[in-house]
Amino acid sequence: MGVITQALMVQAAIDVNGMGQEQKVRLADEIFAQQPNMLASILALPRMGVGMVELEVPLHILLVTFQAMKRSGHEWPIVSEDVQDSCMQRLTARARFNEGLPGVLANQVIQQFCDEHLERYLLAFVYGYLGDHDLLRVRTEAEKYLLLAALNLVECVAFVGSTIST
């Protein structure tokens, strides 16, 4: 089981939703100081065609994710570029594998992945938030990069979280 519980996710989302712009900027400054690569992975999205309005979605996901990490009370290892790269490779390999499966089997594989994910509450939040903003259908290259960046945040948090002794 992961480090981020359902209660932590709910409270983190409530915290961030209640923040004003100045508080969000301070939280982003904390992310820059403690998890700069996570922030960089989101701030790089405009170079991949993601518009500034669309960028608000993965930024919100990052803020909520980091707030949940903070609320966990654990000291989190820094998500390195190597961790990001290896998590992205696994994520894209899984997506390619799922592409060739018949619908029913693909749904079973996805369900199993979600059920067994180390940070399943974070994963559920991210899928839900992306779905709320109609970003799961991947109609453009920019949406593909946005989706991958958001899901890779989850994979990276799960990876570094697995090294935390609870």
In a domain, 76, yes or no: yes
The percent of residues in the chain predicted with pLDDT above 70, rounded, is 98
**Model confidence over 92-132: pLDDT tens digits?**
888 777 777 777 777 777 777 777 889 999 999 999 999 99
In a domain, 105, yes or no: yes
In a domain, 97, yes or no: yes
In a domain, 96, yes or no: yes
In a domain, 1, yes or no: no
For the whole model, what pTM was predicted? Answer: 0.91
In a domain, 80, yes or no: yes
In a domain, 31, yes or no: yes
Cα angle 125, 121, 68 (rounded to 5 degrees) comes to 80
Q: How many domains does the chain have?
A: 1
Which structural domain, as residue segments, surrounds residue 67? 6-161
For range 29-57, the mean pLDDT:
96
